[in-house]
């Protein structure tokens, strides 16, 4: 924003100082205002927070997505309405009953989840209308007027992919990313068991299932969080020739059997099943960080939905 040369005349022409602050904030941003000689920090901090609807929050993110909104997407409202005034936002992997209860405690009425709320990719609920678990969850959301929006397709389409950006940061692997492939990492030579220990520590995973030799020397790692499916897993393995493949989840009769046969053939390759939720949770946390930078006056919290499975 370019101010007139005569700042004093410019300022005295403003009859409503709050309106001036609001317009200037939109033009140059709060960080610039804090260093401005004619705007006090107290005035900015004491300004009333802006009110947002669910639709306005969603639209903020969609502005950064090429060709959004998509004609076909699973990223739709699962409960609530677009015109709900947002009191607080919770980001998470799954909008579980526990996460919903936590949102209620936090007085947050907008949950942004990465994965389905009602047990299928499309969140089709026609077949669940008489199901008691579905009814309990849907009623809980309705009772507290909570909107749930799935942010899956858009988050993965964002540049960078929000899930990968969050996961790479959580693993502290930024310097190992290969520019020609966002899923391939080249680490200093180490043992397979040390790669697994590092990932478990960084992602707070208690135990993992794996296929491989603990003392195998590893450098090339293929990172495929979530459930991208056997066709992508196998295509990426064939293309990248990794020492280790880290996936969120996999069908046991698909990717797992492929790696078993590859090892029997003589390939030096290992596979780790991290768990779907823990492998993409950093993406939901990334989304919370993004939102905090866009709506600083609104409560934004990340709630971990956790891995539901335990080991005996």
Among 61, 54, 55, 109, CA closest to 290: 61
Query: Which segments of the chain have a pLDDT < 50?
Result: 1-48
Q: Are residues 294 and 146 in the same domain?
A: yes
Q: Are 210 and 236 in contact (CB under 8 A)?
A: no
Domain that holds residue 194: 174-274
Q: Are residues 128 and 206 in the same domain?
A: no
- pLDDT tens sequence across 228-256: 999 999 999 999 999 999 999 999 999 99
Among 306, 308, 310, CA closest to 93: 306
Among 55, 86, 88, CA closest to 69: 55
Q: Are 128 and 118 in contact (CB under 8 A)?
A: yes
Q: Are residues 209 and 250 in the same domain?
A: yes
How many whole angstroms separate alpha carbon 146 and alpha carbon 284? 18
Chain position carrying tokens 């040390």: 194
How many whole angstroms separate alpha carbon 244 and alpha carbon 117? 32
CATH number, domain containing residue 107:
3.40.1390.30
Task: Return the DSSP state at 298.
Answer: S
Known binding-site residue numbers: 114, 276, 280
Known binding-site residue numbers for a divalent metal cation: 114, 276, 280
In sequence order, the 6+-apart residues with CB closer than 8 A to the CB of 134 are: 118, 119, 125, 128
Residue 311 is predicted with a pLDDT of: 85
Residue 180 is predicted with a pLDDT of: 81
Q: Are residues 219 and 249 in the same domain?
A: yes
The runs of H, that is alpha helices, within the chain are 7-12, 17-28, 30-33, 41-45, 54-62, 97-105, 132-143, 153-157, 162-171, 192-203, 230-240, 257-265, 276-294
Inside any domain, residue 129: yes
Q: Are residues 147 and 62 in the same domain?
A: yes
Q: Are residues 181 and 255 in the same domain?
A: yes
Q: Are residues 237 and 100 in the same domain?
A: no
Determine the angle formed by the axes of helices 162-171 and 192-203, rounding to 10 degrees.
110
Q: Are residues 229 and 259 in the same domain?
A: yes
Give 181's strand partners: 178
- The long-range contacts involving 228-231, CB below 8 angstroms and separated by at least 24 positions, are 229/254, 230/254, 230/255, 230/258
Q: Are residues 41 and 126 in the same domain?
A: no
Domains in the chain: how many in total?
3
Element (DSSP H or E) covering residue 253: none
Q: Are residues 25 and 82 in the same domain?
A: no
Give 185's strand partners: 177, 221
Q: Are residues 60 and 108 in the same domain?
A: yes
Residue 49 is predicted with a pLDDT of: 57
User: What count of residues does the chain have?
Assistant: 312
């Amino acid at each position: 924003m370019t101010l007139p040369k005569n700042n004093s005349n410019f300022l005295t022409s403003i009859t409503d100082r709050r309106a001036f602050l609001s317009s200037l904030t939109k033009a140059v941003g709060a960080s610039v205002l804090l260093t401005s000689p004619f705007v006090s920090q107290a005035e900015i901090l004491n300004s009333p927070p802006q009110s947002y609807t669910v639709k306005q929050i969603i639209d903020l993110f969609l502005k950064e997505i090429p060709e959004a909104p998509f004609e076909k997407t699973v990223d739709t409202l699962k409960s609530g309405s677009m015109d709900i005034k947002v009191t607080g936002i919770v980001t998470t992997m799954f909008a579980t009953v526990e996460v919903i209860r936590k949102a209620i405690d936090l007085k947050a009425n907008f949950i942004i989840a990465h994965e389905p709320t009602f047990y299928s990719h499309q969140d089709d609920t026609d077949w669940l209308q008489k199901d008691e678990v579905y009814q309990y969850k849907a009623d809980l959301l309705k009772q507290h007027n909570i909107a749930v929006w799935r942010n899956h397709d858009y988050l993965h389409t964002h540049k960078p992919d929000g899930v990968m950006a969050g996961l790479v940061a959580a693993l502290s692997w930024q310097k190992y990313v290969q520019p020609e492939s966002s899923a391939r990492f080249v680490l200093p030579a180490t043992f397979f068991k040390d790669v697994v220990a590092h990932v478990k520590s960084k992602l707070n995973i208690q135990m993992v299932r794996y296929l491989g030799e603990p003392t195998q020397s590893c450098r090339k790692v293929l990172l495929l969080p979530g459930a991208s499916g056997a066709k992508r897993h196998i295509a990426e393995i064939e293309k990248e020739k990794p020492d280790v493949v880290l996936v969120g989840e996999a069908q046991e009769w698909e990717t797992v059997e492929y790696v078993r046969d590859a090892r029997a053939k003589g390939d030096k390759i290992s596979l780790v099943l991290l768990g779907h939720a823990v492998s993409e949770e950093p993406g939901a946390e990334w989304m919370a960080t993004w939102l905090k930078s866009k709506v600083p006056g609104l409560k934004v919290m990340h709630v971990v939905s956790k891995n539901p499975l335990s080991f005996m």
